[in-house]
Structure 1
């Protein structure tokens, strides 16, 4: 893979995904990386203690560590890895910042809101596909590219940057629509995982069907808002009987790795459902709001 020119990068959010990106971009991509963790958090203290990030193999990536975004620094890109329901707290700083590009790397049902906030000309989107965990000591263990997984990005320049840093990535020409159509599945996978962990072995068929019906209603909403199911796999899913998705959810929820990986997404699940219900209440197309609400694992 040809090496890309060194860039000045900030990674806002230092959980599992943000830590993986920062580690790879600094150590393998050899970029100048600043990581930003929540003020007063244990994670900030760990990063300051280690002067960067260490993985489970003892490899270390030296990073700049900060508790807030330097709004005067003209970063080539700020990679935002906090979740959609957490981004409101950092949007004002991103709006004011001198960053040349803000790359939002999380699932959102309303990407246009983010474009409007930071300016469409410097806004980019992506969806991370890595499996990672930061343990209580602050050590990172990441599995990158498992099963051929590749992060999706809305701009080719960031695809090249990710690839050069050992992060498999692919260009997605309509990332905003991809994210909107992926939101129902994001909720479905997380909800099924939460319910599976709660039951101690897998979601029940009744629970899987309830979630699948909610996903179908979400696609009714998406089309009611004037969008098409995208890509073709989502179009096929929207047209398939609910039991097809229910079977997938039921089967996946029995997989220990799958459910443990996604079972921590209760807050994201709840937030995405809230945004979709709010959108449903604003459209003239009949949408079964109760079916969408029933996807919530805490309902």
Structure 2
């Protein structure tokens, strides 16, 4: 029987993870415990999560397994880290960009949804900037204990740098190389908005989004893809190219169906602020690039849906449907 070689373990590195939520805690714990790296975690000053980490002196799984990490409430810009992993949301990163820009770190990897990755690259420098997209499922319970599901269904975190792909694989965090991570993120952002908005609508209604809501979101995705092309980028990768060419009712049907899966809507309905920020970024990009500001993108806002947006759904969505 052919033996599959185990991933090569990397020499210990100095790593700091900014953001101590579910994703950041998962990455930090596995890199420290499985990878043997010297890991520091930065949590928001004054936050309950920071207090939990100080109390435990570690990231603790629900089964009691500990991963010893250093805990800070701000990035030490003078520290010569080998790798900084940023797991904040895109709208939260501006507060730390000055420190990241000054940082003595060798490499900085942004790991979140963003429609404008080049802005981040410009802020920290192209030679040390990389991007990724986490694909893990994790939750922190009320006591700050971590429950992470890694590699479910063959999912792999995507990264634009082979060195960090190897690092993650060696730490038991399945990862794969994506050769054009910035474009992948730009084209993924509209789908992120659609998934989060339809989940929020479903939670508001309690049993799934309406067909009208699914259609509005599907047309918003199509308008977002049109914007990306108007900015001079292709739709990427091939799966999204195919989606761009299919009838909007196909995506609408998928959104409508997914919104009826409780685990799906509960997982993604927490992204209201992220969703609004990505829509703002798309509209801002349209203005900066002198592209058409399409009302179908604005119509994707989660505030348009569910009980809180019922009047807007009835009165305002007809315009977006036909724009």
* Among 240, 246, 251, the residue aligned to 1:234: 240
Residue in 1 aligned with 2:12? 6
Q: Supply the RMSD in Å over aligned alpha carbons.
A: 0.9
Residue 185 in 1 paired to residue 176 in 2? no
Residue 64 in 1 paired to residue 74 in 2? no
CA distance in 2, matches of 1:125, 1:237: 23
Q: Secondary structure of 2:130's match? A: strand
Residue in 2 aligned with 1:292? 297
Gaps of 5+ in 1: none
Task: Indicate if the aligned counterparts of 1:220 and 1:287 stay in contact, CA closer than 8 A.
Answer: no
Q: Secondary structure of 1:298's match? A: helix
TM-score of the pair, normalised by structure 1:
0.98
Q: Secondary structure of 1:170's match? A: strand
CA distance in 2, matches of 1:256, 1:263: 10
Which structure has the greater CA radius of gyration?
2
CA distance in 1, matches of 2:118, 2:289: 17
Gaps of 5+ in 2: 1-6, 305-323
Residue in 1 aligned with 2:99? 93
1:28-47, aligned counterparts within 5 Å?
28-47=34-53
Task: Indicate if the aligned counterparts of 2:83 and 2:106 stay in contact, CA closer than 8 A.
Answer: yes
CA distance in 1, matches of 2:133, 2:116: 14
Residue in 1 aligned with 2:216? 210
TM-score of the pair, normalised by structure 2:
0.91
Residue in 2 aligned with 1:157? 163
1:124-203, aligned counterparts within 5 Å?
124-203=130-209
Q: Secondary structure of 1:78's match? A: strand
Residue in 2 aligned with 1:256? 262
List 4+ stretches of structure 1 deviating above 6 A: none
Q: Secondary structure of 1:120's match? A: coil
Task: Indicate if the aligned counterparts of 1:217 and 1:287 stay in contact, CA closer than 8 A.
Answer: no
Q: Secondary structure of 2:260's match? A: coil
Q: Residues 283, 93 of structure 1: CA spacing in aligned structure 2 closer, same or farther, 3 A cutoff?
A: closer
CA distance in 1, matches of 2:300, 2:130: 29
* Among 11, 17, 22, the residue aligned to 1:16: 22
* Among 251, 274, 291, the residue aligned to 2:280: 274
* Among 113, 119, 128, the residue aligned to 1:122: 128
Task: Indicate if the aligned counterparts of 1:13 and 1:81 stay in contact, CA closer than 8 A.
Answer: yes
Paired positions, count: 298
